[in-house]
Amino acid sequence: MIEFNNIKKKFGELEVLKGIDFEVTLGKVTAVLGPNGSGKTTLIKSLLGMVFPDSGNIHLDGYRLNGKADYRNKIGYLPQIARFPENLTARELLKMVSSVRSTGSNEMDLLDRFGLESYLDKKLLHLSGGTRQKINIVMALMFDAEYLILDEPTTGLDPIALKMLKQVIEEQKADGKTILITSHILNFVEEVADEVVFLLEGHIHYQGSIAKLITATNTTNLESAIARLMEDRDV
Amino acid sequence: MFNIIRYTFYDLLRSRWSIFYMLFFMITSSALLFLSNDLGNAIISLMNILLILAPLVGTIFGVIFYYNSSDFTELLLAHPLKRSTIFLGQLYGLCISLSLSLVIGLGLPFLFYGLLYSDAIFDFLILLVDGVVLTFIFVGLAYIIALKNDNKVKGFGYALLMWLAFAILYDGMLLVIMMKFQDYPLDTFSLVSTVLNPIDLSRILILLKLDISALLGYTGALYQQFFGTIFGLIISFGLLLIWSLLPSGLVLKIATAKDF
């Protein structure tokens, strides 16, 4: 289980997180939503140990994050931007990344699924953005980690790859994985997520299931529900 | 850390800039050797180029590499790796690849010219050591500046300013101070001020080895007088080694506390 307790973070004068409390439910897909600058990325980066919160703490399976790196063996992370060392081949990159983990990796099946085998010996410089994003997805999934954090996973994907991504998320969920997603594409979130956390200006404005949110806001889909939440706040 | 060094090194070794850098030294040293027809003269001419160019290239590559690899660094940060492993791995991978370009670029023409049968071999080795140490120092300093500045334009500007300060402004300033205060004893001041600039230290190291008093300049001559040639060599080399470790220590300190 992932627990965030009263997380606060300031960058200079800008207070990005103003006391975030929430728990990520095990075995579910939770989407963190919010406009640009709402603190989504900062929240996820705090969990990954890239950003140090000013106060509050984060627990993962009861272990309090304290600056050590080992707990990240349990996490598979898909960053938003797929940029790698340009002159390495995809094969070398995968080898490098699997060499940094103590757990074994299983990339062959994933490479096959995303049709990446023929690209393995090409320099990453020569691969398209979409292909690099597929490699990114493979790297996030290949360690069979218990927790998956996907930051804008749909960026640059073609419709076939997008379909495959949804399928993979479904499978991972069926495998009992806990998945945390950020995305701007609300249709995608509605399709894959069970729960949403809506962040606005450093506070959580809604946390719960998508169905409840739609009912509570008296709308028909997630997009209108989120729009309603934002309008209500402005009034 | 070895893995990060290895793959950073592989990546950079295949980059066309490393090859340009190597070719530049190869062409320059071949030209100097065949024009001057003398190993010693070629070494002195190369020293003047190297003392400006190795810090400049180290600085530019340092900032560009840091900014270019920042997305990948974030990916590595999400893995169970210590920050020291990631940042020192990348830093040393870059330093080693640049140093290799420099050593091969300078080394091959000299080897073909018959370096091994001449008595200038140790002078040449000192030249290489100077180049490698300066690369480590300036890549490290550039890395510190890039780590401290998320704004690329600012980071690049500060890094170039840092190079300009060490390579050119520093000596100019010293000269002005010495002219202004020529009536006072300036020995200690100039000895200390040399220690604070790795480019000056490198110049003294090689000039002491070459034993060319005419080129030593005021501080060099002081060095020789104060420490003697051998002790001067050891002192300046030791100080350069300390200089090359300092930036890594600072990189580590900044990187472990930084939010990415």
* ipTM for the complex shown: 0.88
- Residue A18 forms beta bridges with which residues? A8
Using one digit for the tens of pLDDT, what is the confidence trace for B27-63? 999 999 999 888 888 998 999 899 999 999 999 999 9
3-state secondary structure B23-54: HHHHHHHHHHHHHHCCHHHHHHHHHHHHHHHH
Query: From the CA of B11, how many Å to the nearest CA of chain A?
Result: 5
Contacts of B72 in chain A (CB under 8 A): 83-85
Using one digit for the tens of pLDDT, what is the confidence trace for B202-255? 888 888 887 776 666 666 677 777 777 778 788 888 999 999 999 999 999 999
Q: Which residue has the higher pLDDT, B191 or A169?
A: A169
Query: From the CA of A213, how many Å to the nearest CA of chain B?
Result: 32
Cβ–Cβ below 8 Å for B257 and A73? no
Residue of B69, B72, B259 with shortest CB distance to A50:
B259
pTM (2 d.p.):
0.89
Contacts of A81 in chain B (CB under 8 A): 71
Given a contact cutoff of 8 angstroms between Cβ atoms, the answer to whether A136 and A78 are in contact is yes
Query: From the CA of B246, how many Å to the nearest CA of chain A?
Result: 24
User: Reading across the β-sheet that carries A75-78, which strands appear in turn?
Assistant: A75-78, A147-151, A178-182, A29-33, A195-200, A203-209
Contacts of A70 in chain B (CB under 8 A): 80
Question: What is the C-alpha separation between B170 and B176, in angstroms, rounded?
Answer: 10
B75, B257, B255, B69: which is closest to A149 by C-alpha? B75
pLDDT (0 to 100) of residue A234: 65
Best residue in A41, A51, A86 to probe B by mutation, most B CBs within 10 Å?
Answer: A86
Residue A31 scores a pLDDT above 90: yes
pLDDT (0 to 100) of residue B217: 66
Give the Å distances, CA to CA, from B166 to A72, A94, B173, B202, B245.
42, 41, 10, 12, 17
